[in-house]
Structure 1
Amino acid sequence: MNSTNLIVLKDRERDTFLKGGRLESLQALLEPCLLVDAETCSKKEWAELLAESNPEIIVGGWGMHPLPEDTMSALAPALRYLCYLPGSVRHLVSREQIDAGLLVTNWGNSISRTISECALLLTLSCMRRLTYWSHQMHDEGGWKDSSTVTLSLFERRVGLHGFGAIAKELVPLLRPFTSRISAYTEGMPDEVYQEFGVRKANSLQELFSQHDVVIELEALTPDRHQIIGEDLLRSIPEGGAFINVARGALVDEEALLRVVKSTELQVGLDVFAAEPLAADHPLRGCRNVTLLPHLSGPTTDRRCDAGDRALENLKRYRSGEALIAPITSEVYDRST
């Protein structure tokens, strides 16, 4: 049976992930291939398309339907590789399909620098009380007075909870402001901290209580669910800030609410326990909380970085080389 590879994207995904000739390069790598409009392809049509095309490779985006459980056994036995342009694939493929030999990749750490950029943005916004002053200037006719306190990031003690790809991209962005950077994550070898010139904190309690800014960058695992509770948040020194660009479920959100409503702790959040954030959520309206709607990375103009990662992996696949950061069964189990 002939095999036709599939590119399954919405128009907007095609125009941002694969701009500037990337689509044409992708099509050349996948020939023969079919470009599918994900917005008009129904779930029933998707199963039929898999059976008719029997693709070896699928390149997909957010609009792609999940792979039916019998894809590799019946619908498309030629399928070997799902090259997913965005992030989480748990809603698209099962662990059993990966165990059966399906190769899967996503944008991986190609988006780490834009997330770190957003972490810096939220940090600076908190230090300068951006949400409070934006409200005052736009809605209250406010202006500074003799009692106004302003704070800077320069020479601040910054603690990073988690030291993966995003944290490693963030460290050089913080360097112009401070050299007082520490990190804490379980199981990280000491030499990794040393390589990046970062001090290793001895505990999570130390990280929070001895740093003016704590930036949440840890991976979410079952044992880390709501690991950030009220005691840790209250231990951040006066005038400090807590930033989360990792996962909302790392934080006890009710405890966070109690802290922000009873202290001057500045908080910057791009992620939440439940998304999208409810329109009437009590975090909305807190003037010491800066909110973003989970847009830390990649920015629309930098989705092409993920497109470049996909092209590189497809070239590697075609030449029989190892893929960059494949989603193995173990990676699948700890992903969110």
Structure 2
Amino acid sequence: MTATTRARANPPRVLIARPMPAAVRARAEELFDVEWRDSNAPMSDAEMRSALALYDGIMPTLGDRFSAEIFAEFGRPRCRILANFGVGYNHIDVEAARGHGVTVTNTPGAVTDATADVAMTLMLMSARRAGEGERLVRAGLWTGWHPTQMLGLHVSGKTVGIIGMGRIGQAIARRCHYGFGMNVLYANRSAKTVDFPAQQLPLHELAAQADVVIVAVPGGPDTHHMIGADVFGAMQPHAHFINIARGDVVDEAALIVALQQGQIAGAGLDVYEFEPKVPEALRQLENVTLLPHLGTAAEEVRSDMGLMALNNLQAFFAGETPANAV
């Protein structure tokens, strides 16, 4: 780790847990007494405990598991805010944090369009067998065009079922409806007022009717293994399954079986149950598209996320309620 000492009097001391884009780094240096972790690996238990004792605020991200056990040895740690870099915060035990006087924030909004774009990427790649086709060309095995070559699913005019109709789910639905003329079904805890035609259905009815099923729910105990063998069993054999939410929303073993046995035609995944571990059985399947968690991987998006996290820190230390407290 390397420390930067600010010239102005007693700025809050903040640990930023990953290297960040230049714009985020520059802004952080203006605002705080910053220490940068120069590793992209998740923080260890010892690092997290030490950080809670040494810093006024921390900017953690996916993989930094601030569990109840991490907080257990503290009454009120020096750290008073975890400004998460990312919209998902299921790696932080929010109730445990609150119990120890620690505010938790996230970065919604900044990630919406980029994540929806990756959902569309995966839908098209899976439906049109793009990953399989690229592997064929790269292996030098393509013998030329013919009328029945690698026939896939034409998504225009088909039915998409979206599980979770929050910001990201709605952004996906708009792209599907207005871009591809798709009929939109959704499963959600409550009905949503949206600016496009959509029908709310129970989860298993949605799975049975949709040509493409896309998961866009937050992670956490309430959604753990929400999608399992029963959902895959309800889907149509020609249907495709897309996950851009959190890996543990899906029972990965059940997904593998569904793909191996032809219960569904294909899948597109940006997240995994035990990320970054991806099962060998999944990697060997031709009918699945696998991306390395690229949902927000655009420089301006990651910069916006970092600046939003810094805004949350700045508001908190100014005695205000951060805009994105969870």
Q: If the TM-score is normalised by the length of the shorter chain, which range does it land in?
A: 0.7 to 0.9
**Deviation, structure 1 residue 200:** 2.6
Contact 1:161 1:184 in 2 (8 A): yes
**Deviation, structure 1 residue 289:** 0.9
After superposition, what is the alpha-carbon deviation per residue over 1:112-161, rounded to whole angstroms, capped at 9, x for unaligned?
22221111100011121112212222222343322233432211111101
- The aligned counterpart of 1:305 is 304
Determine whether 1:144 maps to 2:145: yes
Determine whether 1:184 maps to 2:187: yes
Determine whether 1:125 maps to 2:125: yes
* Secondary structure in structure 1 of the residue aligned to 2:170: helix
Question: Which residue identity is paired with 1:262?
Answer: Q
> Given the two structures, how large is their TM-score scaled by the length of structure 1?
0.77
Q: Give unpaired runs (5+ residues) of structure 1.
A: 328-336
In terms of fraction of residues, the more helix-rich structure is 1
- Residues 71 and 94 from structure 1, CA distance in 2 versus in 1: closer, same or farther, beyond 3 angstroms? farther
After superposition, what is the alpha-carbon deviation per residue over 1:82-123, rounded to whole angstroms, capped at 9, x for unaligned?
323346666667744422332221333422222211111000
For the aligned residue pairs, the C-alpha RMSD in angstroms reads 3.4
- The aligned counterpart of 1:283 is 282
After superposition, what is the alpha-carbon deviation per residue over 1:23-58, rounded to whole angstroms, capped at 9, x for unaligned?
34333333xx2434455999878877876x6x5444
- Residues 100 and 6 from structure 1, CA distance in 2 versus in 1: closer, same or farther, beyond 3 angstroms? same
Separation (CA, whole Å) in 2 of partners of 1:234 and 1:46: 41
- Residues 205 and 270 from structure 1, CA distance in 2 versus in 1: closer, same or farther, beyond 3 angstroms? same
- Residues 46 and 96 from structure 1, CA distance in 2 versus in 1: closer, same or farther, beyond 3 angstroms? closer
After superposition, what is the alpha-carbon deviation per residue over 1:297-319, rounded to whole angstroms, capped at 9, x for unaligned?
34455210111212332343355
Correspondence 1:58-207 to 2 at 5 A: 58-60=58-60, 69=72, 73=76, 76=78, 79-86=79-86, 95-139=95-139, 140-148=141-149, 149-174=151-176, 175-186=178-189, 188-189=190-191, 192=192, 194-207=193-206
Correspondence 1:255-274 to 2 at 5 A: 255-263=254-262, 265-274=265-274
* Secondary structure in structure 1 of the residue aligned to 2:147: coil
Q: Give unpaired runs (5+ residues) of structure 2.
A: 1-8
Contact 1:69 1:97 in 2 (8 A): no
Question: Which residue identity is paired with 1:133?
Answer: G
Contact 1:217 1:245 in 2 (8 A): yes
Separation (CA, whole Å) in 2 of partners of 1:45 and 1:250: 28
> Given the two structures, how large is their TM-score scaled by the length of structure 2?
0.79
- Residues 157 and 275 from structure 1, CA distance in 2 versus in 1: closer, same or farther, beyond 3 angstroms? same
**Deviation, structure 1 residue 271:** 2.0
Tell me the matched-pair count.
309
Question: Which residue identity is paired with 2:187?
Answer: Y
Contact 1:211 1:236 in 2 (8 A): yes
Question: Which residue identity is paired with 1:27?
Answer: E
Residue identity over aligned pairs, in percent, reads: 25
Instruction: Considering Cα pairs closer than 8 Å and 6+ residues apart, tell me whether 1 or 2 has the greater RCO.
Output: 1
* Secondary structure in structure 1 of the residue aligned to 2:267: strand
* Secondary structure in structure 2 of the residue aligned to 1:167: helix
Determine whether 1:245 maps to 2:233: no
* Secondary structure in structure 2 of the residue aligned to 1:8: strand
